[in-house]
């Protein structure tokens, strides 16, 4: 049934132009002012003024199925019931269906708003709420116990607004998991703690089983891809872990397809090995939106295989290199292989 206009809205209005009254066929207009404090804001406000970049068509080897399994839904329900954030969702990981089906989720602590503006990342950027959620470590530990995880990965946004960069929140989360699930091995994927005056030492001293910090790309591309970070500071962080606790496994990752050369990737491998990095991951960069850094090209599976062989020859204990490799993809299985590789290496040295 059509809605009848109100009397004032249904009449023609008289408009006076230069003293001449005329009938016009415009209905009265209302000016709407949105006074809601919670009005939606752009996910990446700092990127809105950037020109759109081209989006390349994905090749067949990069395609994944939409997540629909029962295991995926169960993991999602547990994460949501604890009020937790995952990097799987926030960063738009292509492996979320596979990992969540196995109840593998990478927990993201310290909120969901990052203080950095890396041009490759889909995590929301802006000014986070002040402070941290004091009960978050306990909620993460509860979720780990409920999922029955044998290995868990904990990551975070960058929190440059905090004096310690979120270091103590990592420590508290590690301790909470150890108390609730003592048999669970813990892998952390940390920010760089740039200009945080040694607070990263507290995280290292909490002795996670794996300390991961991604270099992300080659030094030449840092200014455009990772402008808030410093390549050699990130490299030094990984070296500091080994200097402070030689038994702790270290891990780092690279994206390819951003315009780097093969020679530059191999130089980063050498830098990582000089810093004692045990485990290297290499995956294809996938462009989140047209406002993010453009894909230079899709690296072929054969090239990834070559990178893996080169990295193993350079002495990494563990290498994962494929188009869909991500830092925490197959993290539990990879950790078991990493530990076995170290044991085999030490046994060979004694022989």
Which residues contribute to the annotated binding site? 88, 93, 99, 114, 118, 121, 328
If we measure between CA atoms, which residue out of 269, 185, 177 comes closest to residue 219? 269
Q: Can you tell me the distance from the alpha carbon of 259 to that of 263, in angstroms, rounded to the nearest whole number?
A: 12
Which residues have C-beta within 8 Å of that of residue 299, sequence separation ≥ 6?
256, 257, 284, 323
| Residue 187 in tokens | 């892998």
SS (H, E, C) 110-121: CCCCECCCCCCC
Tell me which DSSP letter residue 45 carries: G
- Strand, coil or helix: what is 62? helix
Q: Can you tell me the distance from the alpha carbon of 325 to that of 319, in angstroms, rounded to the nearest whole number?
A: 10
* Integer CA distances (angstroms), 263 to 118, 260, 331, in order: 24, 8, 28
Alpha helices in the chain (DSSP H): 7-10, 70-81, 87-90, 96-101, 136-147, 167-180, 200-205, 222-225, 231-244, 262-274, 301-313, 331-350
Q: Which residues are annotated as a binding site for [4Fe-4S] cluster?
A: 88, 93, 99, 114, 118, 121, 328
| Residue 266 in tokens | 């191999």
280 and 308 Cβ atoms separated by less than 8 Å: no
Cβ-based burial of 318 (10 A; exposed 0-12, middle 13-18, buried ≥19): buried
């Amino acid at each position: 049934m059509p809605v009848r206009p109100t009397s004032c809205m249904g009449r023609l209005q008289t408009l006076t132009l230069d003293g001449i009254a005329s009938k016009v066929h415009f209905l009265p207009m209302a000016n709407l002012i949105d006074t809601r404090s919670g009005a939606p804001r752009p996910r990446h406000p700092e990127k809105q003024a950037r020109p759109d970049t081209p989006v390349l068509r994905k090749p067949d080897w990069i395609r994944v199925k939409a997540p629909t399994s029962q295991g995926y839904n169960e993991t999602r329900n547990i994460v949501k019931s604890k009020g937790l954030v995952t990097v799987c969702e926030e960063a738009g990981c292509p492996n979320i269906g596979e990992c969540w089906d196995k109840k593998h989720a990478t927990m993201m602590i310290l909120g969901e708003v990052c203080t950095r503006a890396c041009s490759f990342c889909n995590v929301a950027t802006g000014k986070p709420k002040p402070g941290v959620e004091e009960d978050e470590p306990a909620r993460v530990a509860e979720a780990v116990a409920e999922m029955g995880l044998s290995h868990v990965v904990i990551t975070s946004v960058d929190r440059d607004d905090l004096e310690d960069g979120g270091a103590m929140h990592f420590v508290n989360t590690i301790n909470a998991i150890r108390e609730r699930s003592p048999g669970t091995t813990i892998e952390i994927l940390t920010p760089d703690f740039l200009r945080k005056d040694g607070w990263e030492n507290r995280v290292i001293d909490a002795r996670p089983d794996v300390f991961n910090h991604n270099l992300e790309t080659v030094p030449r591309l840092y200014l455009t891809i990772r402008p808030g970070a410093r390549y050699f500071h990130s490299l030094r962080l990984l070296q500091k872990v080994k200097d402070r606790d030689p038994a702790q496994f270290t891990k780092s990752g690279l994206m390819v397809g951003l315009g780097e050369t093969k020679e530059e990737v191999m130089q980063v491998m050498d830098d990582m090995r000089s810093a004692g990095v045990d485990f290297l991951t290499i995956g294809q960069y996938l462009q989140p939106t047209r406002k993010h850094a453009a894909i230079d090209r899709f690296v072929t599976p054969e090239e990834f295989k070559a990178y893996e062989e080169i990295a193993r020859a350079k002495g990494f204990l563990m290498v994962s290199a494929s188009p869909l490799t991500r830092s925490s993809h197959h993290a539990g299985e990879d950790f078991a292989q990493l530990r076995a590789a170290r044991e085999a290496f030490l046994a060979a040295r004694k022989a």
